[in-house]
Structure formats: structure tokens, C-alpha cells
């Protein structure tokens, strides 16, 4: 028969229903597995947010954003790391980028503390006040802005006037022989001027001190991104001269004594930075958006304590207090 017997039809219907049952059962199992995987993944994504939210509610997940001066970045990182032992409930996030970058971030409200190797400009102070911010300046240490040359350079000392002649827009010194210097093995005695980028506080402080506030750098100066880059280039380039923080000194370069107002050569050291006898000594700053409170105040208090100041001393800078 074409459709078979009634019994045959019942058998076929039973088999068909069993297949449908198996199909929907497998489909439901797969759907359940997908939902379980999605829920697991979602939980993994949300868990840190939940923990962070709970932590903030309980005062356990606190963060201080600190950014700015490349000169200060190494000691700022050391302060951050050591502060974990003092107050593990507070995380200090440190970034560089230059004094100008840090100050701008403080003005815009994206950091809590700006590191700077120069004072804020009047234009920056005006921009801060326009944003309803009254910046507070904290001197956290002192630095000798050292003059670096290649290890083979025999120069014994240099004056501010000679530095201006080398770096200044209208300076006439372009070769070492013009300064009475003969560098062994150097056929071309051209002076290779090494500087920093213009968002650097080191760049601004050297310009103001050596060239004057209205002075400009000579074209052709090699502007380096970081303090360490300046020292590295002087190490590898016999005709180079550069300036950078004392903390970046190595045994592979020479530090040139700078003549003071009496014509006496002064070597850049922690001591001559602290007593300001070195002609290019400078204070190092932190800026806050108004008087600090809470964890920011506690952190700054610790930085200015003997424990915090011992760290900046160990990093090659002069502390603001006497360390026993």
C-alpha cells in the first residue's frame, strides 16, 4: 500500500516525534551552553568594576594621578613605590611628558599633582584661574642643571657667557677651537648642541638662566625628548655638549664646572645645588589644584618628611630639609 498500514503510520509518527524531541533537546542544550558562557564572560568583565566600586565605597581603592617633569619622573616613581609600604590603600600613578604637559593636565583637572622643574608661567596661572583653580606650589627638592660633554673633551670649566654663545640665537661659538678646546681624535671640531624639547621645564629654565627670559635658542640644536637621551647622546658624540639634571650623570660622560659670578668654577653636586652656589641650580616643584586635602595632603606631607626627602637625596637631588 502507498501509505502503509495504520500501524506503520504510527511507527513513523513516533519516530518523527522522537527526532523532533532530540532536535529541540540538543538545540536547548546548546542555547543553555551559550547563555552560560555569555554570563560567565559578562561576570568576568563586571567583577573588577564591582570590586572597584565596593572598594571606593569602603575607601580602599584610592588613586592619585601624578604627571609632568621628566627630571622628576624617576624620583616620583620611587616615591610612588615606597609609599605603597606607608599606605597600601592608595595607588600613585606616575607619568612624564614634561613640565608643561603636567601643568596643563593639572589645569584641565586630569591629574591631582603636576611635577615641574620650573615655575608656572603667568599664562598658565591665568588659564588655571579661568578654570576656577588656584594652583599651590610646593618645592620638593633642588637640582643642579649639569652641563655634559663627551668623556674625551678636555674642557676644564665653562662660563654662562660661553654657554650663551654656544646656545643663543645670536651666539657666535660654533666650533670647539673658538673656545680654545682641542678634542683628541676629532677632525671636525664643530660643536654639537644638545637640548630638550620646548615643553620641558629643563629647556625653559636653562633658557631663562643662560639666555635670558627673552632669549631664543640657536637653530640647529638637537632637541631630545628626555633627560637621559641628552646624556646618552653626549656619551656617544665627541663634539657634543648638553644640559640635563644631575641625577642622570654617568661615569661615561664629563660634568663641566660652571663659573660663578666671581669666576670660580663650581662642580654640580647635591651640596652645591642645595646651597645654590652652583650657577644653574634650581628648585623642583609639585603643583596642586588648590590646597590639598585627604590622601593628596598626606602624600605630600610624606614626600616632604625626612623619609620622603631621603629618597630624593638617594636619587641624586638635594632635599629641602637637613637629612641626618
The pLDDT value given to residue 49: 37
Instruction: Take residue 165 and report the three cell numbers written for it.
Output: 654663545
> CA 134, CA 244: separation in Å to the nearest integer?
30
The residues near 221 (Cβ < 8 Å, ≥ 6 apart) are 167, 193, 194, 195
Q: Where does the pLDDT of residue 162 fall: very low under 50, low under 70, confident under 90, or very high at 90 and above?
A: very high
The pLDDT value given to residue 190: 96
Mean pLDDT of 11-21: 42
Domains of the chain: 143-281 (3.40.190.10)
pTM listed for this prediction = 0.75
> CA 113, CA 65: separation in Å to the nearest integer?
6
3-state secondary structure of 104: helix
Mean pLDDT of 303-315: 96
Q: At 138, give phi and psi (nearest 5°).
A: -125, 125
The residues near 290 (Cβ < 8 Å, ≥ 6 apart) are 133, 134, 135, 136
pLDDT in tens, 93-135: 999 999 999 999 999 999 999 999 999 999 999 999 999 999 9
| DSSP result, 1-56 | --S--HHHHHHHHHHHHHHHHHHHHHHHHHHHHHHHHHHHHHHHHHHHHHHHHHHH
CA dihedral 299, 302, 307, 311 (to 10 degrees): 40
Residue 5 has a CB neighbour count (10 Å cut-off) of: 9
Amino acid at each position: 500500500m502507498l501509505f502503509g498500514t495504520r500501524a506503520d503510520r504510527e511507527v513513523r509518527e513516533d519516530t518523527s516525534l522522537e527526532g523532533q524531541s532530540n532536535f529541540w533537546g540538543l538545540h536547548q542544550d546548546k542555547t543553555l551552553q551559550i547563555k552560560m558562557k555569555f554570563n560567565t564572560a559578562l561576570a568576568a568583565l563586571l567583577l573588577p568594576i564591582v570590586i572597584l566600586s565596593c572598594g571606593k565605597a569602603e575607601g580602599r581603592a584610592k588613586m592619585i594621578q601624578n604627571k609632568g617633569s621628566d627630571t622628576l619622573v624617576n624620583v616620583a616613581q620611587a616615591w610612588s613605590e615606597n609609599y605603597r609600604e606607608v599606605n597600601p590603600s592608595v595607588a600613585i600613578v606616575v607619568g612624564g611628558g614634561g613640565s608643561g604637559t603636567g601643568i596643563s593636565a593639572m589645569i584641565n583637572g586630569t591629574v591631582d599633582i603636576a611635577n615641574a622643574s620650573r615655575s608656572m608661567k603667568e599664562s598658565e596661572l591665568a588659564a588655571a584661574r579661568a578654570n576656577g583653580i588656584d594652583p599651590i606650589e610646593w618645592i620638593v627638592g633642588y637640582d643642579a642643571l649639569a652641563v655634559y660633554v663627551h668623556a674625551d673633551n678636555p674642557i676644564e670649566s665653562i662660563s654662562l657667557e660661553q654657554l650663551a654663545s654656544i646656545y643663543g640665537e645670536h651666539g657666535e661659538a660654533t666650533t670647539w677651537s673658538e673656545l680654545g678646546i682641542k678634542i683628541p681624535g676629532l677632525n671636525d671640531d664643530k660643536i654639537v648642541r644638545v637640548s630638550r624639547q620646548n615643553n620641558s621645564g629643563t629647556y625653559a629654565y636653562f633658557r631663562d638662566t643662560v639666555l635670558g627670559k627673552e632669549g631664543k635658542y640657536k637653530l640647529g640644536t638637537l632637541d631630545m625628548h628626555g633627560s637621559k637621551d641628552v646624556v646618552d647622546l653626549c656619551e656617544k658624540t665627541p663634539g657634543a655638549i648638553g644640559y640635563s639634571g644631575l641625577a642622570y650623570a654617568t661615569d661615561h660622560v664629563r660634568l663641566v664646572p660652571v663659573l660663578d659670578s666671581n669666576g670660580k668654577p663650581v662642580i654640580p653636586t647635591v651640596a652645591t645645588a642645595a646651597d645654590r652656589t652652583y650657577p644653574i641650580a634650581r628648585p623642583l616643584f609639585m603643583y596642586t589644584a588648590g590646597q590639598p586635602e585627604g590622601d593628596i595632603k598626606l602624600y605630600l606631607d610624606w614626600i616632604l618628611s625626612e623619609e620622603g626627602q631621603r629618597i630624593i637625596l638617594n636619587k641624586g637631588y638635594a632635599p629641602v630639609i637637613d637629612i641626618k
